[in-house]
Structure 1
Amino acid sequence: MLKFFRISHWPPPRVLATGFALIILLGGFLLTLPFASSDGTTTPFIDAVFTATSATCVTGLVTVDSGSHWSVAGQVIIICLIQVGGLGFMTMSTLFAIVLRKRISLRERLILQEAMNQTNIEGIVRLIRKVLLYSITIELAGAILFAIRWSFDMPLGKAIYFGAWHAVSMFNNAGFDLFGSFGVPFVSFTDYVNDPIINTVAMLLIIFGGIGFIVMSDIIEYRARKRLSLHSKVVLSMTGILLAVGTIVIFIFEFTNMNTLGELSWSGKIWASLFQSVAPRTAGPNTVDLAALRQATQFFIILLMFIGASPGSTGGGIKTTTFATLIGAVAAMIRGKDDIVMFKMRLARERIFKALTITMLSLALVTFVTMCLATTEDHSFIKVLFETTSAFGTVGLSLGLTPQLTTIGKILICLTMYAGRLGPLTLAYALGPRSEKELYRYPEGKITIG
């Protein structure tokens, strides 16, 4: 029992779980202080912790409007939590170690391996350097483009601040925005539904943050290596398929809905459909009123949010590779094949078991929390399911339920965002006892399936 409290004996998943929890509590404490709110009053602890959880878990669900409720100091705290939460606190710790020229220990490399979803520690520090370089470069480019565009709508200083703030938020797939400061809370990017520059920059930041740093590294080094890894091929193909299918389905379902796409021009309809297809990749902003979407569209977005982004990224969900593995397993079973083959390569069986385990644990979590919220909150089932899935997938899209949650509901959503950011499997490893290798195997039995 004492070993559980001895940090030196903790497995990497437990270190990650504890680290994220401490960052959330610290962020929540800072946000309760009067200087963090725009009117100088103390923010209720539950709302401060909820915001800190949402920021650290790069979700975007909020109980108070980020643009109007928080002061500049509070907004800076939130964006710092988003950056640390998106890249991971171990990545940020490694940054300081690199700057101070300190050696990265084997234990720290093992924790980084767990944090980045890698199968081994070979080249993990080199990958972290790339993560930091790519992140700074992409966020800087996004900030400049945003600032140039918004300089036509607001003072230059505010445009630069908005550009930098939203570039970090979009790249880390957080979904926080400051547009409530213009008088209407919780408006997100709805004023820019027809704006090609804002749409393009935001979507590219979301996609780059969602495909994962391993894939970005593969793409950048493609000219030298002349090949992509199987992981990158699966991520890019599945991401492209989901974005294309999502855009088409949303376009068809909402084409005649006068409250969403109906009144927009053809180009506006396409931009809005594409943006609403990209956002469930765990990003969170929206350019149309999601509560006005047809229920069929809302349910389809729930499916996209559950799948989420890709491994080693700033996003959540069960991940695109997990979904691709499940599709591959179904296809192999229907065709009577023993192996799952993707791009002429066979997947190991432990990958299949891991994909199935993650999916079942995620389904169990979403189902349990949805049932609890359906009991504590007096709202429609689709709203409750949408909000729960958004929290689990660290998406941040909302039908307007989050600001109306009861205290119990806020706690449940906080725990769901936390579990979604870490991953149900990582959290299970963190809370469970250290497994020991069995020295025997039971005889094989048969049951009837189907």
Structure 2
Amino acid sequence: MIRVHSKRNAPRLAPPLVLILIYAGLIILGTIALKLPPATTSPVTWSDAAFTATSAVTVTGLVVVDTGSIYSGFGQAIVMILIQLGGLGLMTFAVLILSMFGLPVGFTHRLYLKEDLNQTSATDLLALSRMILKVVLVCEMVGAAILALVFVPEAGWRDGLWQAVFHSVSAFNNAGFALFPDSLSQWAGNPIINLTIPALFIMGGLGFTVASDIWRIRSWRHFSLHTKLMLIGTAALLLSSTAAFAMMEWTNPGTLGSLAWPDRLWASWFQAATTRTAGFNTVEIGNLSDNTSLMFMILMFIGAGSTSTGGGIKVTTFIVLMLATLAFFKRRASIHVFGRELELEQVMKVLALATTSILLIISSVFILLLFHEGDFLSIAFETVSAFATVGMSQGTTGDLDTAGRAVIMVVMFIGRVGPITLGFLLATRKPSRIGYPSGTVYLG
């Protein structure tokens, strides 16, 4: 007997699972496209293509082959498209295309878009997605026009314009892919590069909800709590990390020590800004001192903003963790900030996200140490960079074997789709029917 499911009771996949399958499918398509002969100037392995596609879709920027020399213009265009789709979210593009053709956007699509944009409500998503498209187009076009002032005089109109467009898209989406073997090190003291590239990935890393508030409200007093925390947290992290990097690396001959003092200031700003989100670099990351490497790992772990193109546990998550700790020491039962009270559910979500992320990083580092002989700090640095989808590397990526690459690819993928998304997918949705008496556990 054949069982026919009606449209009402037909089995449906959970939105988090659908998004995971969509991103996985895009990686598979990207891998096949990058393996095509026109996409490369010299043959690449399936492992190379899969790693590049995963890094592009997850907007990480870790590479095992040089993007600018190994991939042709066609292959670089594929990488850029994967970056754009992965950075802004596939559901955002799908909903925009449906609305452009006048097709109805059903409730199911809104649920998927809600998950993709990490929103708590399915209302006003079409307006938010349209605003996102406007912000993206304006930022990337303006960024490309400004970067062309540097690249066109050096590479000519054709190559220079392409380099400007590619790096603008890569920067806004916090991907960190560059067309040069040394990333952007040859422009360590160039003001245009040091202002435009960070401006792009900072705007992309603030998050679309923050961009929406700035675009529509334009008043600090009426900004949402999330926007206020993001702006203050981002500014504080940028200023403190710039000063800390300059102090720790000022005399290091492998990084700032070989530069003129104005270039040292530019390089300090660039590295501090790029570490949490983008993955570009203007100094050799492999030459960082151990204390700076540890600081970079902390910054990468914190990451960018929610609903942004960046990764990490997010700036607001870190701020709520600090506020919860402060509230505990002050013997407060609730968290108050900017005249608002944070609900217990939000604090629990923050704790779950931080714990899951730490466990993932520790497990991945342990597995990599089993398969790959190398410096512990470099492997840990690589793992945190992959999880936070930053893309900074101290030279370990190219030395990884097949098993090591697989681990990093999984970490990049989880870092992009989000540990919380996977947690919600795996967690039971059925409420418990059994109640238990309260108990006491002695802590600390």
Report the residue type matching 1:449 in the other structure: L
Report the residue type matching 2:443 in the other structure: I
- 1:282–1:159 distance in 2 versus 1, CA, 3 Å: same
Which deviations, in whole Å up to 9, do the C-alpha atoms of 1:338-386 show, x marking residues without a partner?
1111112110000000000000000000000001111211110000000
1:66 aligned onto 2:63? no
| Residue of structure 1 in register with 2:299 after alignment | 304
| Residue of structure 2 in register with 1:94 after alignment | 95
Partner residue of 1:334 out of 329, 335, 340: 329
3-state SS, counterpart of residue 154 of structure 1: helix
* Cα distance in 1 for residues equivalent to 2:404 and 2:355: 23
* Cα distance in 1 for residues equivalent to 2:36 and 2:319: 45
* Cα distance in 2 for residues equivalent to 1:231 and 1:224: 14
The structural deviation recorded for 1:8 is 4.9
Partner residue of 1:280 out of 275, 279, 300: 275
Alignment of 1:80-229 (within 5 A): 80-179=81-180, 186-223=181-218, 227-229=222-224
- 1:317–1:196 distance in 2 versus 1, CA, 3 Å: same
> Residue 259 of structure 1 contacts residue 293 of structure 1 at CA under 8 Å; is this kept in 2?
yes
Structure 1: unaligned runs, 5 residues or longer: 180-185
3-state SS, counterpart of residue 155 of structure 1: helix
The structural deviation recorded for 1:440 is 3.8
Range moving further from structure 2, 191-200 or 257-266: 257-266
| Residue of structure 1 in register with 2:251 after alignment | 256
> Residue 14 of structure 1 contacts residue 429 of structure 1 at CA under 8 Å; is this kept in 2?
no
> Residue 148 of structure 2 contacts residue 160 of structure 2 at CA under 8 Å; is this kept in 1?
yes
Partner residue of 1:370 out of 365, 368, 377: 365
* Cα distance in 1 for residues equivalent to 2:325 and 2:213: 28
Report the residue type matching 1:384 in the other structure: I
**Superposition RMSD in Å:** 1.5
| Count of aligned pairs between the two proteins | 437
Report the residue type matching 2:318 in the other structure: F
- 1:224–1:269 distance in 2 versus 1, CA, 3 Å: closer
Partner residue of 1:359 out of 348, 354, 363: 354
The structural deviation recorded for 1:268 is 1.2
1:35 aligned onto 2:38? yes
Partner residue of 2:439 out of 423, 436, 445: 445
| Residue of structure 2 in register with 1:423 after alignment | 418
Partner residue of 1:245 out of 235, 240, 244: 240
Which deviations, in whole Å up to 9, do the C-alpha atoms of 1:40-94 show, x marking residues without a partner?
x3x2111101000000000000000100110111101100000000001111111
- 1:33–1:359 distance in 2 versus 1, CA, 3 Å: same
Which deviations, in whole Å up to 9, do the C-alpha atoms of 1:266-323 show, x marking residues without a partner?
2211111111111122211000001111011011100000110110000111001110
Q: What TM-score do you get using the length of structure 1 for normalisation?
A: 0.95
* Cα distance in 1 for residues equivalent to 2:215 and 2:126: 18
* Cα distance in 2 for residues equivalent to 1:232 and 1:347: 14
Report the residue type matching 2:12 in the other structure: H
1:24 aligned onto 2:19? no
The structural deviation recorded for 1:433 is 5.7
The structural deviation recorded for 1:439 is 3.0
- 1:161–1:91 distance in 2 versus 1, CA, 3 Å: same
> Residue 211 of structure 1 contacts residue 311 of structure 1 at CA under 8 Å; is this kept in 2?
yes
1:46 aligned onto 2:47? yes
3-state SS, counterpart of residue 17 of structure 2: helix
